[in-house]
Amino acid sequence: MEQLPILPLRGVVVYPLIGVTIDVGRPLSLRALLAAKEHETDLIVVTQKETGKESPEQEDLYAIGTRVHIAKMSELSNETVRVRLVGKERVKINAIDETKEGWFADVEPLELVEGEEVERTALVRLLKEQFGKLVGSIKGLSPDERRRFEMYERLESLTDYIASKLDIDVDLRQAMLEEPDAVKRGLELLEIMTHEVEIIELEQELRERTKKTIEQAQKEYYLREQMKTIQQELGDQSQDSEPNRLREKLEAIDLPETTRKNVMREAERLNVVPATSPEYAVIRNYLDWVVSLPWGIETEDKLDVKHAADVLDDDHYGLESVKDRILEYLAVRQLTNSLRGPILCLSGPPGVGKTSLARSIASALERHFVRVSLGGVRDEAEIRGHRRTYIGAMPGRIIRGLKQAESKNPVFLLDEIDKMASDFRGDPASAMLEVLDPEQNVSFSDHYIEEPFDLSNVLFIATANDVSQIPAPLLDRMELIQIGGYTELEKVEIAKRHLIPKQYKEHGLKKSQLTIKEDALYEVVRRYTREAGVRNLERVIGSLCRKAAKQIAIGEKKRVTISLKKLSDYLGKPKYRYGKGETEDSIGAVTGLAYTAFGGDTLTIEVALAPGKGKLQLTGKLGDVMQESAQTAYSYVRANAERFGIDPSFYERQDVHIHVPEGAVPKDGPSAGITIATALISALTGKKVRRDIGMTGEITLRGRVLPIGGLKEKALAAHRAGLTTIVIPHDNERDIDDIQDTVREKLTFVPVTTLDQVLDVAFGGN
């Protein structure tokens, strides 16, 4: 065995009889070159397993390398040496000795395997044939090198030469070096080259096919242009072709100048593109969309405020705030004749008439109406459209809605705008910002149309159930109009004006055949439906109509009258109950007033005392706010016990239990504060509270009474429950005017600012 310097290589494998030129700069490698030069010996070059390692260890080197001869060496700048190495033979590294001069390896020649001569000769011919097919595609080969492989007659030399020239990875090159059997190396290389030849032949075939396609397209274009010229000369140019039809439509519509140029350019492309080309269909669909949009088409608004008011009143009972806003818009338009459409957001519970109100607004203005449901929309492209490059691309819902409206100033309903969501496809709410911004929607750009479209004359009306689900930037662009639930009186009036006539018509009934008494309608509203709107009310009325129609159809009756007494025969037992006032003056029980999504209701607050250690217990499924309100009332009573004639140490000997009946129904809010305080004082003093009184108001630790909401609905509930007096916060006195005259005249409203005033009324001045 011989000991020779080792030169580690990165990404390079050297084969016997093959020369390579490399630049050497690593200290370990430079020491190996210096040792070989000083001792006038050969080198052992061996490839690293990991090319990225700057300072390799012994285990980072392969066990098989190549003995090389230094043919030429020259120094470059930056301590780098360029060296020309020529391989001699494969060697096996048995051991490596690390010294100051460098690494030295004990090596011995790798034993080679000799195959059968006939097989070797056949393999040489096959390798030359396949390499000859590849030689033209290998980069970096000089003309001499391209001819050199023909001179190799020995299989060992030919396989090493081909392996050094093929574009294969380092691991495969090393495997070729380590293989002692030249026949196996040749078969491996033959498989690699056969695969490469197949790829090259396929590339050539594709190249030829593409060339023919381009030549055919150029030929068709040339012939088409010739045909146009001939038709022009003969004066026989066809006027009914698809491109000409679209061109005529484009010239007839009122397009902005920039848009016209871009669209006409697309129309010119349609003349050039073959009708069989996929691009032809894309361009044609695009132009069809452009010509179908209402670019310059507007309907003339009927700026008659009185007519609009009549239409809105006929279609909807109540909803005065919305009607007033629309009439204000019309009045300003009538005076100035130039005002952008408002962007309204109607917010309220389901069934209160938000969508139907938008239709009535369109009818009052005599504008076209279009509705787009945004519930569940998650893709931004639903609003802005898809790029034309995608298969099946189409405009977004805004542009599609305008096409449906056939005018550029419709009433555009964006239904359920609070139900939009976002995911990986984008945020449609962000896309709506441009649509609903008066400063931006003058030039709204859909991804499919890619031309600005003016939305400033569109009257956008959005509807929502929960405005907290609408992003703040989007909500900021809309004028929010809250639509509360209907009162009993309003529901009955809506039923008489709209729902009953509609159900008569749908069920083929005449007014003379079915009569629903007003007291029966009130009972239906109170005890068979519980909702803010009137959808369930309409369903119940429909049920009454069906049962009446059945009786008339089978001849059981010719005329049906549904009164309060007969109502249960048609609808069964009542589904709901409503609160009633106390039947007699009582201690520790006070009637409060509550406001729910379904209207107003009464709420009895009960207080019971028991021997104990001052524990305060709250029951009745109370929310956090209501529990805190009870704590506040309890603390106020403790702090002012002597003023009310209560033993200041009562809480040391007595537990207090505050209960609100109907424990399965969740309750919350601060408006029961004065009711709880009054019930506590009544229980602790033994004084009775008037049965005909109801109260509502928030209490503070100083005994002040703060304002509440829903007074209109609470007053209606008090009237329904038979109460005659309502204690309300002084700041709510201005809300009394909102209550219907029939209810307001039968109730006595007592505005208060402190709890002392509440107690004077509750205890009858006692």
pLDDT tens sequence across 531-542: 778 888 899 999
Q: Report whether pLDDT(137) > 80.
A: no
Assigned token pair, 541? 């009325």
Q: Report whether pLDDT(753) > 90.
A: yes
Assigned token pair, 246? 């679209």
Q: Mind giving me the DSSP string for 135-178?
A: GGG-TT--HHHHHHGGG--SHHHHHHHHHHHS---HHHHHHHHH
Q: What is the mean pLDDT of residues 133-161?
A: 75
Assigned token pair, 721? 């429950």
C-alpha span between 645 and 635 (Å, rounded): 16
pLDDT at 580: 64
Helix (H, G, I), strand (E, B) or coil at 197: helix
pLDDT at 440: 82
Q: Report whether pLDDT(646) > 70.
A: yes
C-alpha span between 155 and 304 (Å, rounded): 102
pLDDT at 236: 47
Cross-strand partners of 502: none
Helix (H, G, I), strand (E, B) or coil at 231: helix
pLDDT at 130: 81
Across all residues in the chain, what is the average pLDDT?
Answer: 84
Assigned token pair, 702? 């100083």
Q: What is the mean pLDDT of residues 595-616?
A: 84
Q: Report whether pLDDT(308) > 80.
A: yes
* Active site members: 671, 714
C-alpha span between 615 and 425 (Å, rounded): 56
User: When comparing pLDDT for 35 and 139, which is higher?
Assistant: 35
Contact between 5 and 42 (Cβ < 8 Å): no
The model's pLDDT over 432-451, given as tens digits with 9 standing for 90+, comes to 888 888 788 888 888 888 88
Assigned token pair, 309? 């008011």
Q: Report whether pLDDT(303) > 80.
A: no
C-alpha span between 24 and 401 (Å, rounded): 71
Q: Report whether pLDDT(288) > 90.
A: no
Q: Which of 61-65, 110-114, 316-320 has the lowest mean pLDDT?
A: 316-320
Contact between 303 and 333 (Cβ < 8 Å): yes
Q: What is the mean pLDDT of residues 86-104?
A: 89
C-alpha span between 246 and 362 (Å, rounded): 32
Contact between 395 and 383 (Cβ < 8 Å): no
pLDDT > 90 in the chain, percent: 18
pLDDT at 370: 92
Contact between 455 and 435 (Cβ < 8 Å): yes
pLDDT at 240: 45
Confidence at 131, pLDDT banded by 50, 70, 90 = confident
pTM of the full structure: 0.58
Q: What is the mean pLDDT of residues 495-521?
A: 88
Q: Which of 198-212, 319-333, 451-465, 622-636 has the lowest mean pLDDT?
A: 319-333
Domains detected in the chain: 2-109 (2.30.130.40), 117-196 (no CATH), 242-292 (no CATH), 305-482 (3.40.50.300), 488-520+535-571 (1.10.8.60), 589-762 (3.30.230.10)
Q: What is the mean pLDDT of residues 561-567?
A: 86
Cross-strand partners of 463: 346
Name the burial class of residue 338, with classes exposed (0-12), middle (13-18) and buried (19+) by CB atoms within 10 angstroms of its CB: exposed
The model's pLDDT over 491-505, given as tens digits with 9 standing for 90+, comes to 888 888 888 998 988
Locus of tokens 């011995």 = 108
Confidence at 697, pLDDT banded by 50, 70, 90 = very high
C-alpha span between 688 and 587 (Å, rounded): 4
Assigned token pair, 674? 């004065």
For the chain, the helix, strand and coil percentages under 3-state DSSP, each to the nearest 5: 45, 20, 35
Q: What size, in residues, is the chain?
A: 766
The model's pLDDT over 54-94, given as tens digits with 9 standing for 90+, comes to 888 888 899 999 999 999 988 887 788 999 999 999 999 99
